[in-house]
Amino acid sequence: MKEQVQEELQQEEKVPAPPKKENSFVAGARKLFQAGIPRKSLFTYENTPPTEEELRANILIVNHLKKYFPVESNLIGQPIRYLKAVDDVSLRIPYGKTLGIVGESGCGKTTLGRTLLGLYDKTAGEVYFDGKNVTKYRERQMNSIRKDMQVVFQDPYSSLSPRFTVGGIISEGVAVHKIVPRAEIKDYVVALMERCGLQPQYYERYPYEFSGGQRQRICIARALAVKPKFVVCDEPVSALDVSIQAQILNLLRELQKEMRLAYMFISHDLSVVQHVSDDVGVMYLGSMVECGPTERIFSNPMHPYTKSLLSAVPIPDPRSKRKRIILQGSIPSPANPPAGCRFHTRCPECMEICKTQPPVYREYEPGHACACHLYPQE
């Protein structure tokens, strides 16, 4: 009897006690005192400045650009977790050319454009504009080149102030940057309005009196009034009817030829991007996965994500059929991206190496770069 009792006691001793639940207050305190992420760790990239030839050929050169938004901090305000909206993006835009940026919603296209313009502070990386390194420019220094970098926002309804007339909206930048003498501002603005398809009598009217297409023309006139060299077009035709889209796109192309403008054209519509772009960059979860000449991207896509996007483009010929590549699952959170290749959780061609090692973004053809383990990494 005693032996049986001893055996039962020994068995009870071997069973581990259930873990104690941590007090919520203690858990919160531990998180507040958690060590922050040192800022130096964000600058883990090779600093290779562009050559003189690259600076002469390209109006915009971006090397390893990062934009992180802190989503959680410790007690003393040091970030302990980031949302990686733009993560290690490099690109080139030649003078007078258009780079189209495509990708799903939330991939960082708009954040990329706003960071390049200085509307968001850069977390890391380098930006060269018109031959100058503007990476460490402060607000006053940015104001000196602000007129050369303009933007056309996506929503023509919310991007125009309802308190100003059309003339006041367009002439504000002209007066601030002293594009023409003050006595000639009205004549200059009226001439620009006519060039953008707006009647002179619209000068004294307010934005609420116009349709979506007319408002977008006002936004384009406002951006071009200060004679810029580079314009970020953030989905400028997505809110417009198809017939109006064609008019706006033709206007942008005509103005580009006249003024030798360089565009970054952000859009979801691949048909539009194919029509207006010289080069195309494909973004996924804050990173550039493929970039190259438009003809090469549409005729010979390399990355599986690019292939899936192109498979969704409708073909105008009803007799032609295209194999649709449907991605499984949803986009991971940019605050907690998956290890290895960020696309491996949805990739139909995923391999074991994709789950552990991030692919190298490198050039495989002249001007055609890709980040995928399906191709040589060395």
Compute the chain's Rg from CA coordinates: 26
Contacts of 313 (CB under 8 A, 6+ apart): 270, 271, 322
Is the pLDDT score of 29 beyond 70? no
State the Cα–Cα distance between residues 151 and 233, nearest whole angstrom.
6
Place of tokens 């494909």: 282
pTM of this structure = 0.85
Q: What is the pLDDT of residues 45-92, one digit of tens each?
A: 667 788 889 899 999 999 999 999 988 887 777 788 888 899 889 999
For residue 36, what are its two tokens?
């922050």
Tell me 205's DSSP state: -
258 CB-contact burial (10 Å; exposed 0-12 / middle 13-18 / buried 19+)? exposed
Q: What is the mean pLDDT of residues 8-30?
A: 57
Beta-carbon count within 10 A of 322 CB: 11
Q: Which of 138-147, 261-270, 286-295 has the lowest mean pLDDT?
A: 138-147
Neighbours of 363 (CB within 10 A): 11
Q: What band does 378 get if pLDDT is binned at 50, 70 and 90?
A: confident
**What is residue 32's predicted lDDT score, i.e. its pLDDT?**
58
- Between these two residues, 226 and 329, which has the higher pLDDT value? 226
Cβ-contact 86, 286 below 8 angstroms: yes
- With bands split at pLDDT 50, 70 and 90, how would you rate the model's confidence at 20? low
So what's the pLDDT on residue 127?
Answer: 92
Query: Structural domains in the chain?
Result: 39-162+206-371 (3.40.50.300)
Task: Answer whether residue 318 shows pLDDT above 80.
Answer: no
CB 275 within 8 A of CB 313: no
Confidence of residue 39 (pLDDT cuts 50, 70, 90): low
% of residues, the chain, pLDDT over 90: 40
Average pLDDT, the chain: 85
**Pairing mode of beta strands 262-266, 230-234:** parallel
The whole-number pLDDT of residue 146 equals 87
User: Of 77-81, 317-321, 349-353, which one has max mean pLDDT?
Assistant: 349-353
Q: What is the pLDDT of residue 156?
A: 83
Closest CA to 171 of 144, 214, 202: 202
pLDDT at residue number 6: 60
Residue 289 binned pLDDT confidence (cut-offs 50, 70, 90):
very high
Residue 266, pLDDT above cutoff 90: yes
Residues in the chain: 378
Q: How do residues 182-228 score in pLDDT, each as one tens digit?
A: 999 999 999 999 988 899 999 999 999 998 888 988 999 999 999 99
pLDDT digits (tens, 9 = 90+) for 152-174: 988 888 889 899 999 999 999 99
Strand pairing report for 361-365 and 149-152: unpaired
Name the least confident of 13-17, 37-41, 253-257: 13-17
Summarize the confidence of residues 259-276 as an average pLDDT.
90
